[in-house]
Amino acid sequence: DGGITQSPKYLFRKEGQNVTLSCEQNLNHDAMYWYRQDPGQGLRLIYYSQIVNDFQKGDIAEGYSVSREKKESFPLTVTSAQKNPTAFYLCASSMLDFDRGLSEQFFGPGTRLTVL
């Protein structure tokens, strides 16, 4: 079955530690996205990538880093510089069609990160 996987589902870390969240897709999508979700805040874009080895900052990129070495994978690292990292993190992917605007995004099941 095609889809997006995120692991782990729940993650606990001590304050000051970096942590990497995994996101893999087998939909052959070019674009991948990372969102942060906090209660009452909606989905806020952290980083996105439209092609391998290239990515752009979203609205709340400070304290986060990403890489896109393979089309299928877009891991997110939450660094110790992120002041309030406890949140629900969602990864998404979509096809790209520059003539017709953004396509529908397919979301992974999410990772709930708790920093103690």
Give the binding site for another protein (CB under 8 A): 33, 35, 40-45, 48, 50, 56, 58-59, 90, 98, 100-110
Whole-number Cα distances in Å, 90 to 17, 36, 64, 100: 20, 6, 14, 25
The distance of closest approach from Cβ of residue 79 to another protein in the complex, given in angstroms and rounded to an integer, is 22
90: left (phi over 0), alpha (psi -120 to 50) or beta: beta
The distance of closest approach from Cβ of residue 57 to another protein in the complex, given in angstroms and rounded to an integer, is 10
How many C-beta neighbours within 10 Å does residue 19 have?
18
Nearer to another protein, 35 or 64 (CB): 35
Strand partners, 94: 31
Nearer to another protein, 13 or 44 (CB): 44
Nearer to another protein, 18 or 41 (CB): 41
